[in-house]
Amino acid sequence: MKENTATNKFSDEELIKNLPGFENQYITTNGVKLHYVEGGSGTPLICLPGWPQTWYSYRPVALQLSQQYRVIIVDIRGMGSSEKPQTGYDKKTMAKDILGIIEQLKLGKVSIMGHDIGGMVAMSLAFNHPEVVEKLVMLDGAHPNEGMMQMPLMPAPGTFNEKMDGNMPYAWWMGFNQVKGLPEQLLEGRFHYLQDWLFHYVMIDASKMTKLERDVYAQAYNDTESIRASNAWYQTFNQDIEDTKNYPQLTMPVLGIGSYISYNHMNIGLPYVATDVQVVGILDSGHYLFEEAPEQVLEAIVPFLANKK
């Protein structure tokens, strides 16, 4: 595992200085060593980031949330300073990683929030271990399902332009990340080319992703092991889809927050898998909601978490 050092300006030790009151922690659970940052006090709120980011993606909302909650932001298996084993990237196993954190820290029931791939892991935790989940929040990411099998190999005519089409989204990287070995060869040392293209394509205002944030994430995904591990999140989708066939409906309160890209899909799909669902659309934001619309994200999350229902 690649552990950051304090001499690196993009290390966890340096970056945590931008999040006053938070501290870096490590924990070994389910056979994997995970890095997380923690701040605040009160009811536990576990936060899971997505691709291609790290714990740092929650910085725009973490300080305000920590005023009311014990916020724990986890670098999931294969991400950032967490360990990058060869196996265990199906969402059921990754959910067990998070369960281990809950049990070792004696958190009891928690609320859990996930963005992108983190939303898949959060939803898997709710499916597989509902006894520990008080509330579930997902942002532009839900558990893999059979609908993925209908994703197009070719974009519909006129829909693959400078910005992602919200009605006919073309996510070619879902296929690219299935390939083993080649992405590492192509992207090692130059991950920023893919990253910057992606941010421009799926954000309405890509300038909201700062140079520091871009540098942090490029550094986190710039080596062979980090690319291999993060692509493994995608390479297990077939197993994830098979697992959903045995899951019951979720009964805890569920909040889905969708950008212009995913709102319609979440609004249609989430009621099939949960009985108590709210879906909020932030339609003037692209996929990276924390960076483009942090105030609107907080306006949706804070009352949902505070509701005693």
In a domain, residue 203? The reply is: no
What is the reported pLDDT for 308? 81
Query: How many independent structural domains does the chain possess?
Result: 1
Q: What is the mean pLDDT of residues 281-305?
A: 98
The pair of structure tokens assigned to 284 is 């003037």
In a domain, residue 163? The reply is: no
- Residue pLDDT, tens place only, 18-42: 999 999 999 999 999 999 999 999 9
d(CA 21, CA 33): 23
In a domain, residue 60? The reply is: yes
- Residue pLDDT, tens place only, 125-145: 999 999 999 999 999 999 999
- Residue pLDDT, tens place only, 255-279: 999 999 999 999 999 999 999 999 9
The share of the chain scoring above pLDDT 90, in percent, equals 97
121 pLDDT tier (thresholds 50, 70, 90): very high
In a domain, residue 282? The reply is: yes
Residue pair 266/142 in contact (Cβ under 8 Å)? The answer is: yes
What is the reported pLDDT for 309? 65
Helix/strand/coil for 210: coil
d(CA 248, CA 163): 36
Length reported for the chain: 309
Is residue 148's pLDDT more than 60?
yes
215 pLDDT tier (thresholds 50, 70, 90): very high
In a domain, residue 148? The reply is: yes
- Residue pLDDT, tens place only, 49-107: 999 999 999 999 999 999 999 999 999 999 999 999 999 999 999 999 999 999 999 99
Residue 123: how many other CB atoms lie within 10 Å: 30
Is residue 292's pLDDT more than 70?
yes
Where do the DSSP E strands lie in 2-78? Answer: 23-29, 32-39, 43-48, 69-74
Q: Greatest CA separation found in the chain?
A: 53
Helix/strand/coil for 279: strand
In a domain, residue 71? The reply is: yes
296 class by beta-carbon count within 10 Å (0-12 exposed, 13-18 middle, 19+ buried): middle
Task: Choose between 129 and 308: higher pLDDT.
Answer: 129
Give 191's contacts (C-beta < 8 A, 6+ positions apart).
52, 218, 221, 222, 227
What is the reported pLDDT for 6? 39
The domain of 265 spans 12-152+237-306
In a domain, residue 1? The reply is: no
What is the reported pLDDT for 281? 98
Q: What is the dihedral of CA 200, 286, 256, 28, to 10 degrees?
A: 30
Q: In the chain, what is the straight-line distance between the N-terminal and C-terminal CA atoms, in Å?
A: 42
User: The domain spanning residue 253 has which CATH number?
Assistant: 3.40.50.1820
Q: β-strands 23-29, 32-39: how paired?
A: antiparallel
- Which residue carries 């932030």 as its tokens? 282
Give 283's contacts (C-beta < 8 A, 6+ positions apart).
259, 260, 263
Residue pair 73/36 in contact (Cβ under 8 Å)? The answer is: yes
In a domain, residue 175? The reply is: no
Mean pLDDT of the chain, nearest integer: 96
